[in-house]
């Protein structure tokens, strides 16, 4: 599942086999946390068999982009949340072909030693998509298994769970990113060179001024939430 940046404009490029310009290709974006439709409309033809769906993901969540041409659906999944963390609820979405909402889909979450950590029924999201949420209690590798009515495993995925970052580490990371973003904003305004710096998989050299300012605000809020509103680690330009 691809990681994308929260509150930043994102283009999802999906290949639709045998499609050509002029075809009717629609999309629906589902939000996992509350099983709702986040956005819908018509996909934009890019070229070849590629179509684009643009959206701005809000909040920490899993977003399922489903593109439809005729009777055929194509799916991409994205998340704004970080990797699974000890003590934090983790949500995953599994697409099960030909499934319908009235069916019962069960799951098992196993720890590395093979013991069952959690099990139960998955929650229907929409279309052919089902979700599961659990809160890991320790670091390590967990295995998610999805079962059919015959108890056969039809889907399996390993989930790496990391320890929660300390408050000090979070402040240092946010502070260093904030300094880089402030420098980039200054360079953007005054025509200077922007130093290459990758944040959440995106190089700030390619961010617009408005995106940099929005990200700066988010970082400052993160620092204030951790250390208290009275402290500022960088002077805004």
- Span 35-70, pLDDT tens digits: 889 999 999 999 999 999 999 998 888 999 999 999
pTM for the whole thing? 0.60
CA–CA dist 225, 222 (Å, integer): 5
Tell me the per-residue pLDDT of 152-207, one tens digit each, with 9 for 90 and over.
888 998 998 988 765 554 454 677 788 888 888 888 888 777 766 666 656 787 78
Token reading at 237: 């330009």
* Number of other CB atoms surrounding residue 47 within 10 Å: 8
Q: Phi, psi (5° rounding) for residue 212?
A: -65, -40
Q: DSSP secondary-structure letter at 99?
A: -
- Distance (Å) of CA 39 to CA 75, 123, 153: 14, 20, 32
Say if CB 168 and CB 176 are below 8 A apart.
Answer: no
Three-state DSSP class for residue 9 = coil
pLDDT over threshold 50, residue 232 = no
CA–CA dist 113, 118 (Å, integer): 14
pLDDT over threshold 90, residue 14 = yes
Per-residue confidence band for 236, with pLDDT thresholds at 50, 70 and 90: very low
Say if CB 171 and CB 179 are below 8 A apart.
Answer: no
């Amino acid at each position: 599942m691809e990681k994308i940046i929260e509150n930043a404009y994102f283009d999802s490029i999906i290949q639709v086999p045998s499609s050509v310009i002029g075809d009717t290709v629609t999309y629906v974006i589902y939000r996992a946390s509350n099983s709702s439709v986040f956005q819908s409309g018509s996909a934009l033809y890019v070229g070849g068999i590629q179509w684009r769906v643009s959206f701005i993901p809000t909040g920490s969540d899993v977003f399922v982009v489903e593109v439809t041409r005729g009777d055929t659906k194509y799916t991409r999944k994205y998340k704004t949340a970080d990797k699974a963390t000890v003590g934090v609820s983790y949500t995953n979405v599994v697409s099960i072909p030909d499934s319908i909402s009235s069916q019962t889909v069960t799951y098992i979450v196993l720890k590395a030693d093979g013991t069952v950590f959690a099990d139960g029924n998955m929650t229907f999201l929409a279309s052919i998509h089902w979700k599961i949420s659990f809160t890991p209690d320790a670091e390590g590798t967990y295995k998610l298994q999805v079962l059919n009515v015959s108890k056969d495993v039809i889907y399996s995925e390993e989930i790496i769970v990391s320890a929660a970052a300390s408050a000090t580490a979070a402040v240092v990371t946010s502070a260093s990113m904030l300094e880089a973003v402030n420098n980039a904003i200054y360079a953007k305004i005054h025509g200077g060179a922007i130093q290459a710096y990758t944040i959440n998989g995106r190089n700030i050299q390619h961010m617009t001024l408005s995106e940099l300012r929005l990200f700066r605000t988010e970082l400052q809020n993160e620092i204030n939430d951790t250390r208290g509103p009275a402290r500022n680690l960088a002077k805004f330009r």
